[in-house]
Structures are given as C-alpha cells and as structure tokens.
Structure 1
Amino acid sequence: MSVHQLSQHTAMGSAETPIHQAPAVTLADGGSFIPQHYLRYSHTLASLQEIASRVRFADELLIFAHEDKQGMYIQIGMVGRENYERGNTIRPLKLVYGRKWRIDADTPTSEIVQTIFLAIKKMREHEVRELLTLRDETSGKASTPFSTHHDVHVLARFAPPGTPTATTADASEAIVSWLDPVRFGQRRIALLEVNQHRGGSWIVDLALGMLPLARAMEADLPEFNHLALTIVLKELSRSELLHQIMQAMIDHSDRAVEAAFQYQGFARFSRTLDPATIAGLSIAARPYARDARNPAFSEAFKASNYEVDASRAPALGKGRLADINRHKIAQFSNLSGHMPRGLHTAAQSGNPLEAVRDLIVNKRNIA
C-alpha cells in the first residue's frame, strides 16, 4: 500500500478496508497500492463529510454532507441571484439548494466523488435552464421554456407537438426571426453564419451579445461572457434550434465544472487527462488472472462482489409499476443478475403463466 493510500485509509478510519488477503499492485515506477475494487466500504457520516471536504470548486458553491431518517446524502447549495428578476437593478444574493443525492454506506469512495461532481453539474444546469427566455407572441411576456418547474400534467394535455419550419432558401431569415424573442441571461443571441452540410444537417454559428449593465456588474457565470458557439441542426425548425442552443449552454456549463472540479487537488474530470493513460492505469490495477491464483483471496473477492451486487437489487413492490416490471423481466430468457426482491409473489396474482415465469427466473438466479 502506498504512502498516499495509507494516509487515506487513516483519514477514513474503518470506512475503507481491504478484502481478506487483498494483494497490492505495483506499477512500473515502483508505486504500490491496493486497488479500490479490492476494498470493502462502510462509510459513515464522518467519512462522507471527510470526502466532501476534500472537494474544491467555486466559492459560490457549497457541498453539504448529512443524514436523515432515510440515510446519508450529499446536497449542493449555490449562492446566486433570482433568475426570474430581469429588471435593471443589481439583484440581491440568495442561497438555494439542490436535491438530496442518497449515499449508501457501501458506496466506493470514487463513486461518492463522482456523485458530488454530478450533483454540481445538475445544480448548475438547473440554473442555466432558467436563463434562456422566450418572449410569448400573444402576451409579450418572457418565459423560461426549458425550466424544470413546468407542470407535466398540463404539458401532456395542452402542448401538442408542432413547430415552425423553414425552407432551404430562407434559412438565415428564419433563424434570425426565431432568435429575435430569445435571450440567454438577458443577452441577445446573434446569427453569424448558417450552412447546410451535404448530409442534410445545418451548421449554425452563433454569438452571445453584451450583458445589460446591471447583469455585467453582478458578474455571475462569467464563462458565458462573449461566448461563440456552433450548433448542428438535424432539421431546420424553431424547436430544433432552441433545443440545440439550450443543450450547447448546458454543455458549456458542464465543461466549466469539469475544468474546475478538484478532489485532493487533482482535477479528476478535466479533459486535459489523457484517456490512454487512464486506460493503461486501469489495466495495471486489474491483474485478475494473477490474483485468481490465490484461492483464499479469490473466494473472498467473489463473495464480496456477490454481497454488494445483491444489496443493490431493489424491491419489486406492488401495484401497476410492479406489474410492468414483472412483465418486462418475464420476456427475457436466461436472465442473469440479481432479481428484484418480491418477484416470486406473482404466484399470488392468480395468473398461472406469470407464476411459472417467475419461478423459472428465480430458480435461474439462485442457481
């Protein structure tokens, strides 16, 4: 075990422990460590908070690690502005919170770090979606069509598909007209150039305009300032244009998170990391053929994997959703893996065919 990993285990206490007779891996430079897949995890609130404390990101973003009656969780807080206030004055700061991301005690440390990373991305995405506004032709008021706060029942009933399309001849004119009522963080979006690819897609170059003075003084999300972007449209329609613009903004936000996120000073998700180097390290850390020759460790390793995989299997439950999932599972023959708990209760449904299918699936799983 390397000095780095020894210090990590000391800080984590009993949250990370090697499987019985877990072997170390030695790299070409002499560095030695026990791979994470040869460890067992039993995280507590203290170890979860220790992991979260090692993450570095922007000062306006806070990482909370706590627990409630349902267990441990990660939650992101963000200091920002009220997106729906679009006046000409500087808006006061406020602290808002994202959803709770549940963490099981046996979650590997690397997966907890990934969860924090994803929670940050989705928290920022929530805010970015509220920045793109569209002025309604009827009322003249601006709305946020890509916000996550819309009522799904209302949309399903009153929002049939359909969007204005344009011909090849008037592509530029159509895009300019579709962009006219659109703003991103109160910036205009200008068309620079549009060309049709020989495969039929449209290549559209856009640029964000200047911020209003009050927004510029607030200096929020500066990575969008003076942004030029290229999007690809599969069809020339308003819906495709706006969806692709929104996706480009989300992608730009995600890239900013990838570049800035650090764990123990290491930019884990930076695109400056060479995938070939990561692949080589992954192969070196998994000498399964070598380690399988140790029967004591091999059996303990298999037992640990089985226990973890089995604990991941959910309960099937009751009602319509349970019936849907039961029907889907029954359609697959020779299905391996851990079946959901309660699958065998189909025998109580009064449907002989389902009962037989469930018995076969469960026997196969046990075998």
Structure 2
Amino acid sequence: MSATPSTAVHPTQAGLPGERVMPHAPLVRLPSGMDCIPQHYVTYHHDLASLSEIAARVSFDAHTLVFASQDEHGMHIQIGLIGRENYDRGQAVRPAKLVYGRKWRIDADTPSSEIVQTIFLAIKKAREHEVRELLTLRDGRHGASSAALSNHLDLPMLVQQRQWLTHARVNNATDAERVQHVLAGLRFAQRTLHLRSLHFFGGQAWVEVTLGEQAPGRAEEGDLPEFADLRLCVRFDPSQPHQLIYELMDALIQHSDRHVDETFLFDGFARFSRQIDPRLLARLSIASRPYGRDQGNTRFYSGFQRANYDTDAGRAPHLGTGALAQRNRRLIEAHPTLQGHMPRGFLTPERGRHA
C-alpha cells in the first residue's frame, strides 16, 4: 500500500469486489499516515465475477495462466502451464503443450487476500509438479530413466513393496565415489549435474553442483530460463548416498519457489518478495489490529465478534461416517476441554451438544 495523505480513506486495503465493510467499522491509522479499514473489519461475499476480477489482477509470466471457474461443486482457481512434454526426452524441438494443475476450491466467504495467496500457492505447486518430473535418474541395469520423485507413482504398489524399498544395499565404494556415482545418473531437464566441490565435515558431506548446458532443442524451446547457470549447495549424510537426490530435489524446488516469490505480482506489487522487510510488515500488522481500542466501540465490536464466530463455524466440516470419522472422534474426545468449533455431527455426552 503506497503512502497517502492522512486524509485519504480507503474502504478496504485493496478496494476489491465481493467485500462489505462491517457496520460502524472504525478507521485505522497506519504508520504511513494512511487511514483505512483493514480486511478483518470486512465481510466477504465472493462470486465468480469477483473471483475472476481478483485473479485478473495477478500477473506472473507468459507461460502461466490463472483460471477462475465454477462447477457443480463451487468456485475454484486452476493454473495452466504452457510448456513441453516432460517425458519426451528426444533431441528435437517439442511442440508447446497446455497442462492444468489441480482445482483449488474457493468459498464465497474467503478473504480476498487469501484468494491471492491461494493463487500464489497454486502456481508454486504447479511448478513443483513440473520440477519433480524434470529430475530424472538413470537405472544402470536397464539404461532407462525415471522421474522417481514425481507425483505419478503408484502408492498402493509402493506400500506392497515397502520392505524391498527400504532394504539397505551394501556398497563398498568410498564416500566420494558414491557421490560421483549418484550425480552421473542424474539429469535435470536433460542437463547433466557437474560436481564443483565436495567436502566432508562433522559426519556430513557438503556438495556443490552446477547444471550443464542445455541440449540444442531444449535451448531453442526456451523453457525455465531461471534455472540457467544455477549453482546448488547441499549437505547430506554420506553413509546414505541416496539422500543426495532428495537434497538436490529440495534445492531445485526451493529455487523455483524463490522465483515465484520475486515474480508473482498483485496489482503490480511483489507481495511475497524477499525485498520486503518483515519488520515493516510487523509494524503494519500491529497497527492494523487495534482491538484493545475498538472493544470499547460497542456498536461495532459485537457485530465484529458475531461475524468472526459465524465465519469460523461455517468452516467446520461434517464428521462423516466410517473409519475416518471414528478416528477423528477418538482424537477429539482425547481432549475433553477442547475449544473451537467441533465438526458437524459430533456429539458427546460431556458436551451434550453439536459444536
């Protein structure tokens, strides 16, 4: 929020559709000198039109689309990515392809800031899905490659294979040889991973790697330029060389997440940029919540408390039936003084009511 003269009044922090100021809501003076009514003194009544307008004020890059849609289950946000088929690892230039992430449900009473944060998280997770498919391991026995840490593995099959998957393999190679062997079988977006430095200290291995050059076809496609010239530094237990693969995956995902932090804009503002000082965010947050002052405003505060109660109560899920409901009931009943809104359909003699 840009600084304005103290006489300026903004009904809400962003003036977004689908918002209604609570009756008798007081103004709050911010450190910048602006007077405003903050989001927690607002109720939300979003529909597809207001959701779409908020989504339209988000920008990221030319390969990422934000969709606001509605189906029989309600409103949702969905991310579309324009890219290439990750599992086509040939050398030729591949045609562009539009793929979609999961649907992120949005309730009508979702605060506008949370809608923006949902879009932000949806972009991060859609990109993480792609990053996980791009790190491949070559199986020396068959010469084939697999995106072993992708989201497309058969979980019931893995459960059946749990003993085989966790059985320790004997390897008599030195720690340095194990690191070299692991790196030799890895590719990221068909790039090799080059070892730049390797140190052992305190029972840990400290590894620095860089990504190799792109294949000509991949360079011509121009995907993921933020990974160019990337240098990764990770540490792991050298007695478990497979841990290096997990650490590299975490580092690649973190790099993708940081790119989203700095590139994601709402109304042209990089809300999640690391350039923003959290100490200043804290000052704004504290100034925007003068609850001690506003408790004395009886015309406003009773309505404020009632609105918060109704919102929280409306978010309580149904307990349901079956094994999951029984387990959740046991966990809840283990806390006889538990506060908050209980699931709908939950009833105990001690409480004597649906909470």
- By the TM > 0.5 criterion, same fold? yes
Does residue 203 of the first structure (1) align with residue 193 of the second (2)? no
- In structure 1, which of residues 167, 177, 180 is the aligned counterpart of residue 181 of structure 2? 177
Map of 1:223 onto structure 2: 226
Q: CA deviation at 1:226?
A: 1.5
The 3-state SS of whatever aligns with 1:360 is coil
Map of 2:194 onto structure 1: 190
Measured in 2, the distance between the counterparts of 1:149 and 1:114 equals: 26
Percent sequence identity is 48
Q: CA deviation at 1:235?
A: 4.9
Q: CA deviation at 1:202?
A: 2.4
Q: CA deviation at 1:255?
A: 0.5
Does residue 161 of the first structure (1) align with residue 166 of the second (2)? yes
Measured in 1, the distance between the counterparts of 2:85 and 2:264 equals: 25
Measured in 2, the distance between the counterparts of 1:114 and 1:165 equals: 46
Is the CA contact (8 Å cut-off) linking 1:192 and 1:206 kept in structure 2? Answer: yes
Q: Residues 136, 98 of structure 1: CA spacing in aligned structure 2 closer, same or farther, 3 A cutoff?
A: same
Map of 2:349 onto structure 1: 359
Letter in 1 for 2:349: L
Q: Residues 5, 219 of structure 1: CA spacing in aligned structure 2 closer, same or farther, 3 A cutoff?
A: farther
The 3-state SS of whatever aligns with 1:256 is helix
Question: Tell me, which stretches of 5 or more residues in structure 2 are unaligned?
Answer: 1-6
Q: CA deviation at 1:221?
A: 0.3
Map of 1:347 onto structure 2: none
Does residue 332 of the first structure (1) align with residue 335 of the second (2)? yes
The 3-state SS of whatever aligns with 1:359 is coil
Q: CA deviation at 1:5?
A: 4.4
Q: Deviations over 1:41-73 (max 9, x none)?
A: 000110000000000110111000011110000
The 3-state SS of whatever aligns with 1:49 is helix
Q: CA deviation at 1:7?
A: 9.7
Instruction: Summarize the alignment of residues 133-152 of structure 1 with structure 2, pairs less than 5 Å apart.
Output: 133-152=136-155
Map of 1:81 onto structure 2: 84
Q: Deviations over 1:68-90 (max 9, x none)?
A: 11000000011000000111100
Measured in 1, the distance between the counterparts of 2:144 and 2:70 equals: 42
Letter in 1 for 2:111: P
Measured in 2, the distance between the counterparts of 1:44 and 1:308 equals: 17
Is the CA contact (8 Å cut-off) linking 2:29 and 2:36 kept in structure 1? Answer: yes
Q: Residues 6, 129 of structure 1: CA spacing in aligned structure 2 closer, same or farther, 3 A cutoff?
A: closer
The 3-state SS of whatever aligns with 1:238 is coil
Is the CA contact (8 Å cut-off) linking 2:175 and 2:238 kept in structure 1? Answer: no
Does residue 27 of the first structure (1) align with residue 30 of the second (2)? yes
Letter in 1 for 2:129: H
Q: Deviations over 1:263-307 (max 9, x none)?
A: 001000000000000000000000000000111211111101100
- In structure 1, which of residues 238, 242, 245 is the aligned counterpart of residue 245 of structure 2? 242
Measured in 1, the distance between the counterparts of 2:84 and 2:265 equals: 25
Measured in 1, the distance between the counterparts of 2:338 and 2:182 equals: 50
Q: Residues 6, 34 of structure 1: CA spacing in aligned structure 2 closer, same or farther, 3 A cutoff?
A: closer
The 3-state SS of whatever aligns with 2:88 is coil
Measured in 1, the distance between the counterparts of 2:212 and 2:245 equals: 17
The 3-state SS of whatever aligns with 1:320 is helix
Q: Deviations over 1:221-255 (max 9, x none)?
A: 01111111101214542321101111111000000
- In structure 2, which of residues 88, 95, 99 is the aligned counterpart of residue 96 of structure 1? 99
Is the CA contact (8 Å cut-off) linking 1:176 and 1:190 kept in structure 2? Answer: no
Question: Tell me, which stretches of 5 or more residues in structure 1 are unaligned?
Answer: 345-357
Q: Residues 247, 163 of structure 1: CA spacing in aligned structure 2 closer, same or farther, 3 A cutoff?
A: farther
Is the CA contact (8 Å cut-off) linking 2:86 and 2:133 kept in structure 1? Answer: yes
- In structure 1, which of residues 105, 123, 127 is the aligned counterpart of residue 130 of structure 2? 127
The 3-state SS of whatever aligns with 2:262 is helix
Measured in 1, the distance between the counterparts of 2:182 and 2:217 equals: 26
- In structure 2, which of residues 284, 290, 304 is the aligned counterpart of residue 281 of structure 1? 284
Letter in 2 for 1:312: R
TM-score, reference length from structure 2: 0.93
Q: CA deviation at 1:30?
A: 2.5
Instruction: Summarize the alignment of residues 54-65 of structure 1 with structure 2, pairs less than 5 Å apart.
Output: 54-65=57-68
| Structure 1 consecutive aligned stretches of length 4 or more whose deviation exceeds 4 Å | 1-8, 163-167
Q: Which moved more, 1:173-182 or 1:255-264?
A: 173-182
Map of 2:69 onto structure 1: 66
